[in-house]
């Protein structure tokens, strides 16, 4: 027989929890984590109670040494990125300042499974334990990780359910036409006693001035500059206006008393990522949802003018009134400003074609000094006013013709009736195919033919409506121009920004040094430079 095995047990010398020699009495450095997810009065009370409870709880243990109660207040638990208290606690623990963390439950620690497990495992590697009081889970226990995984998953599903319920509630309010405005960042409205938006008169005046100045021809940057100079506060209460703010106000349908709801939606409930709604989820357009500051027709005119400036290459963010008015006769590109001799006493601002030195063929149109532009404008305006009465009468006749929509309205009515018929035929075709088995190739051919026909009718209808809007905008421009000319003292004609914006549609500069002034009345005046 072989020699019997002799096994000697070597007892553990290090406590797996404390990481200290066995038998040595060492106090564990203990911290607590408390969090509430809202800033309501009830939750604040709960928050204070948690802090008091854990302070006394830890200090009441003779084998524990109190470190701190780390807290987060009034924030979401879905992820840990914005939880300053939580992140500071983890950093202190990893730095060797904490041995044990006590918290109420898994859901108080994190409702995100990934965040929860990542943090627990990170702490576990350093021998730092987390105790979840409600679930009685000790993370250094052999069963700890399994239990934490299960509990975290349940908590995450709870968060998903809550998020979905909130989203459903929001969409239900949208479907019911209930509008809520971000009053703190919204000019012109405040929350009324009935919970609905109500107009702030002084702020509403600023909004109306912005729309008026834009339709008079001012760029968004010029409007921003003027409001800043006047000391008018922005929607956010700042002193300096930006062109982006002006553009946002000009495009916001809420100023005409309507509201497009669900412009953005939440993509990921965990990360709270928002995305612009491009058709992924329903939108709701509510008309007459609240009092209007801007007349709907005026709002539509502004949208048309924004589109016109964009399509013509005339940007909306230049400081000078000339920037959207001077056009190169060679290539059709707008003029832009350049500074000559910027660092000398001969410094001057000139205007020239923005594409003058681009491409194979250079434009031959001359550069212009600002003072010369102003003088040529006065000359052109003086010639226009030589027979003011006839000018005004011609302008009235042109405006009257532009506002005659008899032919357009008649065709639109005919198109609408035809679209109704085609739409009905398409529905009938689909219903018949669903009711009985038919040749699918034949069905698809007939259905697509009806859809194509409908789309052509719709395109023609849209073209006519756009033409109607353009004529209305042109007629309004003539009305403003006629008013300005009627009030003008011929003996004191001088350049003014508002007079230029109100009367001039555009000026074409030619290579032979001709400037053709196109007035909003439809009249052209040529001035030789």
**Rounded to whole angstroms, how far apart are CA atoms 430 and 428?**
5
Token pair for residue 425? Answer: 């035929």
CB 85 within 8 A of CB 50: no
Separation of first and last alpha carbons in the chain: 126
Q: What is the pLDDT of residue 228?
A: 92
Tokens encoding 243:
């062109």
The Cα 54–Cα 105 span in angstroms is 13
Tell me how crowded residue 215 is: count the other CB atoms within 10 A of its CB. 19
The distance from CA 402 to its chain's CA centroid, rounded to whole angstroms, is 36
122 contacts 95 by C-beta, under 8 angstroms:
no
- Which residue positions in the chain have pLDDT lower than 50? 17-18, 38-44, 75-79, 164-172, 174-175, 265, 267-271, 280, 316-317
Domains by residue range for the chain, with CATH: 28-166 (3.40.50.1390), 185-319 (3.90.1750.20), 370-528 (no CATH)
CA distance linking residue 214 with residue 124, whole number of Å: 63
Q: Which two tokens stand for residue 504?
A: 């001039």
Longest dimension (CA), the chain: 136
Q: In what order do the strands lie in the sheet with 368-369?
A: 335-340, 348-353, 368-369
* Separation CA 233–CA 38 (nearest Å): 31
Task: Write the CA distances from 410 to 398, 401, 461, integer angstroms.
Answer: 21, 16, 11
Q: What is the pLDDT of residue 134?
A: 83
Token pair recorded at residue 337: 């400003």
pTM of the model: 0.46
Q: What is the pLDDT of residue 40?
A: 44
The pLDDT of residue 510 is 94
* C-alpha to C-alpha distance for 134 and 36, rounded to whole angstroms: 16
Task: Classify residue 173 as left (phi > 0), alpha (psi -120 to 50) or beta.
Answer: alpha
Q: What is the reported pLDDT for 65?
A: 92
Angle at 221 between CA 219 and CA 227, to 5 degrees: 105
Place of tokens 């929860």: 116
The per-residue pLDDT for range 221-241, each reduced to its tens digit, is: 888 988 999 999 998 888 899
Distance CA 126, CA 94 (A): 7
Which residues, at least 6 apart from 370, have a Cβ–Cβ distance to it below 8 Å? 322, 349, 350, 351
Give the CA radius of gyration of the chain. 36
pLDDT at 517: 95
Q: Which residues pair with 137 in a beta bridge?
A: 132
Residue 137 near residue 148 (C-beta atoms within 8 A): yes
Q: How far apart are CA 140 and CA 80, in angstroms?
A: 22
CA distance 180 to 60: 50
Number of other residues whose CB lies within 10 A of the CB of residue 286: 19
How many residues can be counted in the chain? 529
What pLDDT is recorded for position 2?
57
Q: Please report the pLDDT score of residue 101 as a whole number.
A: 94
Quickly list H helices, 40-99.
41-59, 84-94
Give yes or no for a contact between 293 and 199, defined as CB atoms under 8 angstroms apart: yes
Q: Are 76 and 103 in contact (CB under 8 A)?
A: no
Instruction: Please report the pLDDT score of residue 527 as a whole number.
Output: 93
Helix intervals (H) in 276-405: 296-311, 370-384, 388-402
Q: What pLDDT score was predicted for residue 110?
A: 64
Q: Is 427 left (phi over 0), alpha (psi -120 to 50) or beta?
A: alpha
- Pairwise CA distance, residues 174 & 195, whole Å: 15
* Cα gap 57→471, rounded to integer Å: 78
Q: Which residues lie closer than 8 Å to 507 by C-beta, 6 or more apart?
A: 325, 326, 327, 377, 515, 516, 517, 518
Instruction: Report the relative pairing of strands 100-103 and 129-132 from DSSP bridges.
Output: parallel
Beta strands in 39-156 (DSSP E): 64-73, 100-103, 129-132, 137-138
């Amino acid at each position: 027989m072989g020699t019997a095995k002799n096994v000697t047990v070597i007892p553990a010398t290090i406590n797996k929890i404390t990481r200290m020699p066995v038998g040595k009495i060492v106090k564990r450095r203990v911290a607590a984590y408390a969090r509430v997810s809202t800033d309501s009065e009830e939750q604040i009370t709960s928050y204070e109670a948690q802090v008091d409870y854990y302070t006394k709880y830890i200090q009441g243990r003779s084998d524990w040494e109190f470190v701190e109660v780390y807290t987060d207040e009034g924030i979401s638990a879905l992820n840990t990125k914005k939880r300053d208290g939580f992140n500071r606690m983890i950093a202190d623990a990893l730095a060797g300042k904490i041995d044990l963390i006590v918290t109420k439950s898994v859901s108080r620690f994190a409702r995100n499974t990934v965040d929860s497990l990542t943090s627990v495992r990170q702490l576990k590697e350093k021998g730092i334990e987390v105790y979840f009081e409600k679930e009685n889970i000790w993370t250094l226990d052999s069963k700890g990780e399994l239990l934490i995984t299960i509990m975290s998953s349940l908590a995450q599903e709870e968060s998903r359910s809550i998020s979905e319920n909130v989203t459903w509630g929001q969409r239900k309010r949208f479907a019911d036409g209930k509008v809520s405005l971000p009053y703190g960042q919204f000019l012109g409205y405040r929350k009324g006693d009935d919970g609905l938006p109500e107009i702030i008169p002084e702020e509403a005046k600023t909004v109306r001035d912005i729309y008026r100045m834009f339709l008079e021809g001012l760029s968004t940057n010029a409007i921003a500059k003027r409001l800043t100079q006047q000391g008018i506060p922005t929607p956010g209460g700042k002193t300096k206006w930006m062109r982006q703010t002006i553009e946002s106000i000009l495009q916001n349908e809420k100023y005409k008393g309507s509201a497009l709801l669900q412009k953005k939606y939440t993509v990921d409930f965990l990360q709270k990522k928002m995305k612009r709604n491009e058709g992924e989820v329903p939108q709701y357009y509510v008309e007459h949802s609240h009092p209007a500051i801007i007349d709907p027709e005026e709002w539509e005119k502004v949208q048309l003018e924004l589109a016109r400036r964009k399509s013509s290459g005339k940007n909306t963010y230049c400081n000078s009134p000339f920037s959207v008015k001077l056009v190169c006769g060679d290539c059709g590109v707008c003029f832009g400003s350049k500074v000559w001799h910027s660092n000398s006493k001969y410094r001057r601002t000139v205007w020239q074609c923005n594409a003058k030195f681009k491409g194979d063929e250079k434009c031959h149109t001359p550069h212009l000094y600002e003072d010369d532009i102003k003088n040529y404008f006065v000359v052109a305006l003086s010639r226009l006013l030589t027979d003011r009465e006839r000018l005004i009468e011609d302008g009235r006749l042109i405006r009257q013709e532009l506002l005659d929509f008899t032919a357009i309205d008649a065709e639109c009515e005919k198109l609408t009736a035809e679209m109704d018929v085609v739409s009905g035929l398409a529905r009938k075709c689909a219903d018949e195919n669903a009711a009985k088995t038919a040749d699918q190739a034949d069905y698809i051919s007939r259905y697509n033919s009806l859809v194509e026909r409908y789309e052509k009718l719709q395109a023609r209808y849209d073209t006519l409506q756009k033409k109607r809007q353009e004529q209305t905008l042109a007629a309004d421009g003539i009305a403003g121009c006629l008013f300005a000319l009627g009030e003008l003292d011929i003996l004191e004609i001088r350049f003014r920004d508002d007079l230029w914006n109100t009367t001039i549609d555009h000026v074409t500069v030619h290579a032979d040094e001709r400037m053709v002034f196109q007035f909003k009345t439809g009249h052209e005046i040529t001035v030789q430079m």
